[in-house]
């Protein structure tokens, strides 16, 4: 049985953390359990990164990257589960998860103009979907500092690299552990050291180290934490 925090009032739950902590799956399952919408903000940055690749924008071309972000129209198809990212009205699918996008995305996400645009887009999505689980790097710290619940998921780089390798292999892609670990460390460093919206634990956030926890256990814990402080809940999920 699903449980949901009562009423139709705004309920924003943020989940931040580095790559490979399971944020996207956790956010999606938590949203399902609590009957909320879910938003994958990393997909939005990935879509801009893909556009810069397609348009052959040089990674050092700050204005060219900002222009790509201005020219792209991002939307979600909320009728699919999880909501599918639409780029200029067309579903982008798994293309944004490929290695060239992985390598490009943190440069794009470090661009202040891109971030400004994405932050505005995310707030406007939340205005239309006020009962939302949103995940990324800056959701609790910058975009929704007033969210009712702010979570931060963490795990060691080695565990996260291992998860990514298994994920890639299960979807038929080859993946080299050392290469993935190196890429994760590079991305962490770039995400943590950028001046605008750096990856950090949001003020007042609850941190969960997921290194030794299954996806189900993480979701169960978050559901418990939300339900424990949300009034009027009638059932217990499981």
Smallest separation (angstroms) from ligand DC to the CB of 195: 12
Q: Which is closer to ligand DC, CB of 158 or CB of 224?
A: 158
Q: How far is the CB of 18 from ligand DC (least distance, A)?
A: 8
- Taking the least distance from each CB to ligand DC, the nearer of 53 and 105 is 105
Nearer to ligand DC, 5 or 20 (CB): 20
Positions in the binding site for ligand DC (CB under 6 A): 19, 41-42, 45-46, 105-106, 109, 136-139, 187, 191
CB of 198 to ligand DC, least distance (A): 9
- What's phi and psi for 149, nearest 5 deg? -135, 130
**Which residues neighbour 69 within 8 Å (Cβ) at sequence distance 6 or greater?**
48, 51, 108, 111, 113, 114, 117, 118
* Alpha carbons 168 and 177: distance in angstroms, whole number: 11
Residue 62 corresponds to which tokens in the numbers above? Answer: 């700050």
Q: How many CB atoms lie within 10 A of CB 135?
A: 29
Nearer to ligand DC, 37 or 138 (CB): 138
Q: Which is nearer to ligand DC, 5 or 140 (by Cβ)? A: 140
User: Which residues is 152 bridged to in the sheet?
Assistant: 16, 207
CB of 13 to ligand DC, least distance (A): 14
User: CB of 194: closest distance to ligand DC in angstroms?
Assistant: 8
Inter-residue contact 118 to 67 (CB < 8 Å): no
Per the DSSP assignment, residues forming a β-bridge with 208 are: 153
Please count the helices (runs of H) and the strands (runs of E) in the chain. 8, 8
Report the distance separating Cα 166 and Cα 115, nearest Å: 30
């Amino acid at each position: 049985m699903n449980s949901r925090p009562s009423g139709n009032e705004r309920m924003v739950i943020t989940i931040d953390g580095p790559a490979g902590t399971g944020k996207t799956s956790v956010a999606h399952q938590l949203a399902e359990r609590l009957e909320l919408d879910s938003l994958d903000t990393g997909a939005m940055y990935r879509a801009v990164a893909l556009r810069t690749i397609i348009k052959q924008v040089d990674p050092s071309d700050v204005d060219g990257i900002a222009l790509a972000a201005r020219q792209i129209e991002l939307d979600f198809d909320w009728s699919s589960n999880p909501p599918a990212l639409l780029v200029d009205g067309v579903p982008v699918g798994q293309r944004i998860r490929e290695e060239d996008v992985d390598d490009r995305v943190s440069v794009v996400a470090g661009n202040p103009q891109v971030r400004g645009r994405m932050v505005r887009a995310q707030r406007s999505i939340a205005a239309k979907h006020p009962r939302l689980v949103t995940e990324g790097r800056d959701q609790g710290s910058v975009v929704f500092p007033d969210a009712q619940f702010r979570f931060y998921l963490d795990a060691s780089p080695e565990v996260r690299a291992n998860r990514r390798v298994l994920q890639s292999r299960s979807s038929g892609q080859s993946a080299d552990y050392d290469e993935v670990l190196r890429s994760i460390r590079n991305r962490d460093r770039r995400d943590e050291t950028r001046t605008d919206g750096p990856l950090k634990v949001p003020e007042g956030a609850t941190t969960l180290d997921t290194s030794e926890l299954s996806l189900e256990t993480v979701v169960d814990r978050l559901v418990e934490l939300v339900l424990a402080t949300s009034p009027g809940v009638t059932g217990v999920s499981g």
